[in-house]
Structure 1
Amino acid sequence: MVDSRGNWGRWGRDDERGAANLLTSDVVLRALGSVRAGRVLPLAMPIQGATSNGGAQRVPHLPGRPLPQHFMSVDGGDYAAGARKIKGDMGMSDDALIVSPHGTTTHIDALAHVWRYDTLYNGLAADRIRSYGATRCGIERLGGIVTRGLLLDVAGHLGVDYVPAERTIDAELLQECAKTAGVQPRSGDVVVVRTGWPRVYAEDPERYQGAQPGLAYSAGRWLVDQEVVAIAADNAAVGAIDADGGFPGTLDEDIHLLTLWEHGVYLLEMLWLEELAVAGSAEFLFIAAPLQIAGGTASPLTPLAVI
């Protein structure tokens, strides 16, 4: 049953796109003015690794999640199809890719990712999350995102390589970052938060897979009140993570429930933001297109910043 919770009912009783409805033609056209240099920066970490090598272990990921597996047929040794010759000396190789996006690679969460009280976003029934996919609020409902992006570089603002896991990123700190950068979130934006935490994995993978810094409830509350379309971050869950892998605070303070469930605001996790931070562009054109995975609870993707 649809009620007044967050954005429930705002775009109709059957809406499955949530805050993506804010991406009007005016919002997109105005975002184009954020481009100054015409330089394109990918914001994703690589997908690598296969049964024949340990590449996936070298990329930041959470423990207990199936790592991406990239199989190649070029040598005939990884999967049954084998390499094949097409004509004369011409050869052709094939790929097979298995990815579990959550916690293992750069991805965007669908509104079907979380639910409460047996309901998804907008009061839609959660019992439609089946073994063959989500029949409501799947990632294919989103479409593409083209809008203004804002970088709130928390690590840079604090003058550290990465935010300590015990540091709370609350609304006050985010507002300080925005003021320092000379930007203010507006309706339809994607706000990108840099913690610098991917750097930790290169130094100490075990530490990366413990507690992580992230947004506190007040920070998430401030951003949804600005009517952002999505919140992106370079940590594993946008919100903070406790040492045991859970989220701090009460259930009512959970960032995923606040954003995905109550407001239909999307979460992009595990971005790579180091080059964007070096470029020093707090405002840019943000582009992201999830795979059309019917009923998917997430999609791997490569967000782009055009500065």
Structure 2
Amino acid sequence: MHQPNCAACADRALADGGTTPDVADLLDGLPDNWGRWGDDDERGTLNLLGSREAAAGMNAALKNGEDAVERFTLGLPLTGEAISEDGGTGDPGFPGREVARRTNVSDERAYREGDQQASAGMKFSDDRFETPFYLQGTTHMDALGHAWYGDELYNGVDAAETAVEKRFETPVEGIGGEVTETRGHGRLSVAPLAGSGVAGRGVLLDVGRYTGGSEGDRLPMGTEISLDDLQVTAEAQGIEIRERDILLVRTGAMARTRDPDADWHPTDEPGLVFSEELVEWVHDHDIAAVGADNVAIERVTQRIDGETYVLPLHGAFLRNLGLPLVEMLWLDDLARACADDEVYDFLFTAAPLHVQRATGGPLNPLVLKATEE
């Protein structure tokens, strides 16, 4: 299963009969949150999550009493195994990102061979990554500055802020030699989101289970998920979407990366598709964050009014609404439990790895969900 980079995905989509439309025209006139929380805001819709929202999540978790609470983590394991064209299972490497592989740098073998001395009888093991560790190569949260169009990021921040150089006094040996300077986000990095964290009422919309058709609880490859699909799923589940909720959409796509017999390609995964109504619905409901079990939340390429667009909802959500996106979630275990007891809301908590100036950060969300007493 070949995994090209995002630019290659776009180039191929346009070469296959697409045009080069301007996403600014597509999104013109749709709502934004610029200035809503001040001109210097870098947290976006996470500003919506306060004490009451955290309490709403806790109330959902405790609705069946303190003896009926289940715990789920939604982060994918880093196996170091790559998905290849020859089949097999492995990490769902984001297009253009290699799989991360780690090794021990201090372990029992080193002690046996006399390479290190024990400290008063204590022995230790330690790790390092032997290959590049891409922060968006596993379950992660996008920074608000991760995607944009035109010359401005969320809240009117200059796009030049995405590539600000930083010099370090102390050099460190890196993969390609000594590292003494890097480029990164001067503003709108993942750091403000990591400092804030996420805690609130989460709702799972298991679109894969309710509209999966012949593939059971997985959406077929290439499936487009509309606002109507989300609303039909919510109605079938008997769950109400409330203001300031955290919305999780399950497609079944991530399970394919663990299934050697499944067809999977990152540019053809099922996902949300743009509509003005969807963007306005998300804004009107003050949805605080959106997550999904695919690489991009939305379909990578979308045909809209006869033209091909690449990730238009990233422009609408990240750039315009300041809405954090949580990608590549593992939702299958949570979904099975929700289907068994028909409880689809819960306490959702998460915080990305606090990496300064980064455009995204890995995370392992924790869900506490009420279950049968």
TM-score, normalized by length of structure 1? 0.86
RMSD over aligned Cα atoms: 2.7
1:292 equivalent in alignment to 2:354: yes
Q: One-letter code of the match for 2:363?
A: L
How much has 1:111 moved relative to structure 2? 0.2
Point out where structure 2 has 5 or more consecutive residues left out of the alignment: 1-28, 63-67, 83-87, 164-181
Q: Which of residues 57, 67, 70 is equivalent to 1:39?
A: 70
In structure 2, distance between residues paired with 1:83 and 1:48: 28
Q: Deviations over 1:21-66 (max 9, x none)?
A: 1012222222210103222100111123289xxxx97122234212
SS in structure 2 of the partner of residue 6 of structure 1: coil
**After TM superposition, where is structure 1 displaced by more than 6 Å over at least 4 residues in a row?**
none
In structure 2, distance between residues paired with 1:206 and 1:138: 34
How much has 1:152 moved relative to structure 2? 0.1
Q: Deviations over 1:115-158 (max 9, x none)?
A: 22111101111101124321111111122100000000001112
Q: Is the 8 A contact 1:22 1:187 kept in 2?
A: no
Q: Is the 8 A contact 1:84 1:93 kept in 2?
A: no
1:93 equivalent in alignment to 2:136: no
Q: Is the 8 A contact 1:191 1:231 kept in 2?
A: yes
1:302 equivalent in alignment to 2:364: yes
In structure 2, distance between residues paired with 1:220 and 1:86: 59
SS in structure 1 of the partner of residue 333 of structure 2: helix
Q: Which of residues 160, 169, 172 is equivalent to 1:127?
A: 160
Q: Which of residues 258, 265, 274 is equivalent to 1:217?
A: 274
In structure 1, distance between residues paired with 2:280 and 2:116: 55
How much has 1:204 moved relative to structure 2? 4.8
Q: Output aligned runs, 1:27-66, within 5 Å.
A: 27-36=53-62, 37-49=68-80, 58-66=90-98
Change (3 A) 1:173 1:200: same
Change (3 A) 1:248 1:267: farther
Q: Which residue of 2 aligns with 1:108?
A: 141
Q: Which of residues 207, 225, 232 is equivalent to 1:154?
A: 207
Q: Which residue of 2 aligns with 1:226?
A: 285
SS in structure 1 of the partner of residue 268 of structure 2: coil
How much has 1:239 moved relative to structure 2? 0.2
How much has 1:223 moved relative to structure 2? 2.5
Q: Is the 8 A contact 2:205 2:249 kept in 1?
A: yes
Which structure has the larger Rg?
Answer: 2
Q: Which residue of 1 aligns with 2:44?
A: 18
Q: One-letter code of the match for 1:293?
A: V
Q: Which residue of 2 aligns with 1:166?
A: 222
1:179 equivalent in alignment to 2:230: no
In structure 1, distance between residues paired with 2:331 and 2:206: 9
How much has 1:20 moved relative to structure 2? 0.8
Change (3 A) 1:100 1:248: farther
How much has 1:255 moved relative to structure 2? 1.1
In structure 1, distance between residues paired with 2:115 and 2:89: 26
Change (3 A) 1:133 1:83: farther
Q: Is the 8 A contact 1:147 1:286 kept in 2?
A: yes
Q: Is the 8 A contact 1:115 1:121 kept in 2?
A: yes
Q: Which of residues 256, 271, 279 is equivalent to 1:200?
A: 256
SS in structure 1 of the partner of residue 118 of structure 2: strand
Q: One-letter code of the match for 1:187?
A: E
How much has 1:84 moved relative to structure 2? 3.3
Q: Is the 8 A contact 1:18 1:263 kept in 2?
A: yes
Change (3 A) 1:295 1:165: same
In structure 1, distance between residues paired with 2:268 and 2:115: 44
1:263 equivalent in alignment to 2:327: no
SS in structure 2 of the partner of residue 40 of structure 1: strand
Q: One-letter code of the match for 1:282?
A: Y
SS in structure 2 of the partner of residue 85 of structure 1: coil
How much has 1:247 moved relative to structure 2? 4.9
Q: Deviations over 1:75-119 (max 9, x none)?
A: 5999xxx973332553211112452132x2000001010122111
SS in structure 2 of the partner of residue 207 of structure 1: coil
TM-score, normalized by length of structure 2? 0.72
